[in-house]
Amino acid sequence: MKVLVLGGDGFCGWPTSLHLSDLGHDVTIVDNLSRREIDLELEVESLTPIRPIGERLRVWKQLTGKEITFVHLDLAEEYDRLEALLLEVRPDAIVHFGEQRAAPYSMRNSVAKRYTVDNNVRATHNVLVAIATSGLDIALVHLGTMGVYGYGWSGSAPIPEGYLTVKVPTPDGDIEREILHPANPGSVYHMTKTLDQLLFAFYCANDQLRITDLHQGIVWGTQTPQTVLDERLINRFDYDGDYGTVLNRFLMQAAIGHPLTVHGTGGQTRAFIHIRDTVRCIQIALENPPERGEKVKVFNQVTETHRLRELAEMISKFTGVDIAYLPNPRREAAENELNVSREQFLALGLNPTKLSEGLLEEARDIAMRYKDRADTTKIIARSTWRAGMETSPDLVKG
């Protein structure tokens, strides 16, 4: 299969590109390297040392004989080149990771809010217009987020996979209607994924595009069977307050002896998935696209749920590092339950990688190996959801 991976240089895109290439697919990475540029802006780097994309691809070819092409292209700004690329490559499928993906960054200031909306909405819309205009039958797989649903909206009912059947009162009695689960985004970033959903629904209905939207939980872990082959293939490990994801942050903090940073009560329950399962889920989604004329296919891409406080306690016990309860820079419920439907990926053969399976140790080992690269002044989360919200000072000396 010919596959374009949009955002193939990022945290999920890179291991997905290698996984699909390893399976024998003909992979082209399309990326504007914006994630590396934001590192420059934030004056922080991945804990793991990331090589230039050209070097990454040379090493992959040397090790495996498999070629991945790279196209430096901005999806939001260079529509004409994108349209020409589709006609040149004629891909069977596109995997779309090409969006700004950090909630705290998206709330950082007016520039970051606007960048997140402008980039994400235009990138997604440009991809849809380019597919429709090309006349090619290209299946699209998009990375959504569990954050489109919000937390606690549907009471004791599990969060469904995309669609919810509700009863609408009418003068002739209740009628049943299947609706897209109402949007309850908690940040500008999450909001952009709720906008994407409406773009998908329209282009699916009007142009009969074949689209899959994957509502992913919080990713943890770093390495996949491909990225471990050579240090120059290593995946990103973000630990800073904007881009670091909570579990990886705890593991890194434990590795350098920094208190584990819990914001608010830690009563937030969130959904998780290991990066190894992310790449398998993408593969499964690519192998099971919707038919032409079918509605947008939605999967919940999560394998387990945890309360943040309990995760922190587990890692504290595992490593002996203390927990620090800090002011929460986000506007969110202090405590929530979370019950997520995830039958589809399991039915299609996903064998989930759980926290219990020793990979916590692998992630800790990576954090230990590269701990000298850490900048402790970047650990505290300081992008606040509203002006004037309290944030914590640094907990250790920089």
Q: Enumerate the active-site residues.
A: 145, 189, 193
CB of 305 to a copy of itself, least distance (A): 17
**Closest to 289 (Cα-Cα) out of 204, 211, 202, 209:** 211
168 binds a copy of itself, rule: CB under 8 A:
yes
| Cβ 48 vs Cβ 234: under 8 Å | yes
78 binds a copy of itself, rule: CB under 8 A:
no
CB of 100 to a copy of itself, least distance (A): 14
Angstrom distances, CA of residue 250 to CA of 102, 123, 271, 352, 360: 17, 32, 16, 21, 11
Angstrom distances, CA of residue 59 to CA of 22, 36, 52, 68, 227: 13, 19, 11, 11, 11
| Cβ 278 vs Cβ 299: under 8 Å | no
One residue of 90, 114, 354, 373 binding a copy of itself per CB under 8 A: 114
Q: What angle do CA 351, 357, 359 make, to 5 degrees?
A: 105
Nearer to a copy of itself, 8 or 185 (CB): 185
CB of 299 to a copy of itself, least distance (A): 21
CB of 149 to a copy of itself, least distance (A): 12
Nearer to a copy of itself, 331 or 354 (CB): 331
Q: Count residues contacting a copy of itself (CB under 8 A)? A: 53
Taking residue 80's Cβ as centre, other Cβ atoms within 10 Å add up to 9
**Closest to 124 (Cα-Cα) out of 207, 16, 213:** 213
One residue of 63, 87, 166, 368 binding a copy of itself per CB under 8 A: 166
> What is the three-class DSSP state of 272?
strand
CB of 319 to a copy of itself, least distance (A): 35
113 binds a copy of itself, rule: CB under 8 A:
yes
135 binds a copy of itself, rule: CB under 8 A:
yes
338 binds a copy of itself, rule: CB under 8 A:
no
CB of 177 to a copy of itself, least distance (A): 7
CB under 8 Å to 341, separation ≥6 — which residues? 158, 159, 160, 161, 300
102 binds a copy of itself, rule: CB under 8 A:
no
163 binds a copy of itself, rule: CB under 8 A:
no
Nearer to a copy of itself, 48 or 194 (CB): 194
Q: What angle do CA 120, 31, 197 make, to 5 degrees?
A: 30
Could you give the residue ranges of the DSSP H alpha helices within 65-97? Answer: 79-89
CB under 8 Å to 286, separation ≥6 — which residues? 1, 3, 20, 93, 95, 139, 141
One residue of 33, 42, 71, 164 binding a copy of itself per CB under 8 A: 164
333 binds a copy of itself, rule: CB under 8 A:
no
121 binds a copy of itself, rule: CB under 8 A:
yes
Q: Beta strands 139-145 and 93-96: pairing type?
A: parallel
Q: Which residues bind a copy of itself (CB under 8 A)?
A: 79, 83, 110, 113-114, 117-118, 121-122, 125-126, 129-130, 132-133, 135, 153-157, 164-172, 174-175, 177, 179-180, 182-183, 185, 188, 191, 194-195, 198-199, 201-202, 205-207, 331, 385-387
